[in-house]
Amino acid sequence: MTRSFHDELTGLLDEANDSMVAIRHDLHAHPELAFEEHRTTKVVRDRLNALGWELTRCPTDTGAVAVLKGGLAGKRVMVRADIDALPVLEERALSYASVNEGVMHACGHDVHTAALLGVAEVLSKRQPIWPASTHFFSSPLKRVGWGSRHDRGGVLDEHPVDFVIGRTSRPLRRSGLSEPAQAYS
């Protein structure tokens, strides 16, 4: 009897955990402001490339757009995360604290990006039997509306999808809780 994706998910996430934590710590230590995320962009693009995702045109110099075509027919899904940091001084003494004076990931975009790269890793391992075409979009700016509007720059024109999935962090919520977000057009 074959195991379902749901049955395998915990093991696949466990396998991706170390790389997600390492990437999160690296991104947290090297935050970059909106449209200046050149190092972050390289980290994201290199990881996606190593996982076998096809990098495609990104409408900005920073950020990434990539596609993983599933081996089976199915829906087209986009997963997205923001990659910009804030002009905030890091005051915590972490082993992975910001090395960029006055800039930090105070908003969780390092977490979002690392988690999405974990999803990219899991999906790449399931690619031959994945029933979807998955599009990865890391966006350079949410705060003035660019990232929250996927259609700017033609991302959705070039990558028409059935669903867009994004995630935000709520650090004051108890661990393990999740809630659906409002849909925006």
Query: CA–CA separation, 103 vs 36, rounded Å?
Result: 12
Q: Residue 68 pLDDT > 90, yes or no? A: yes
Residue-wise pLDDT for 163-176, tens only, equals 888 766 655 555 55
Residue-wise pLDDT for 79-97, tens only, equals 988 899 999 999 999 999 9
Question: Average pLDDT for residues 100-123, to the nearest whole number?
Answer: 93
| The pLDDT value given to residue 171 | 55
H or E, element range at 133: strand 132-139
Q: Residue 146 pLDDT > 50, yes or no? A: no
The number of beta carbons lying within 10 Å of the beta carbon of residue 21 is 13
Q: Is 124 exposed, middle or buried (0-12, 13-18, 19+ CB in 10 A)?
A: middle
| The pLDDT value given to residue 86 | 93
Q: What separation in angstroms does the CA of 166 have from each of 71, 92, 112, 136, 150?
A: 23, 27, 9, 10, 11
**Predicted model pTM:** 0.85
First-to-final CA distance of the chain? 42
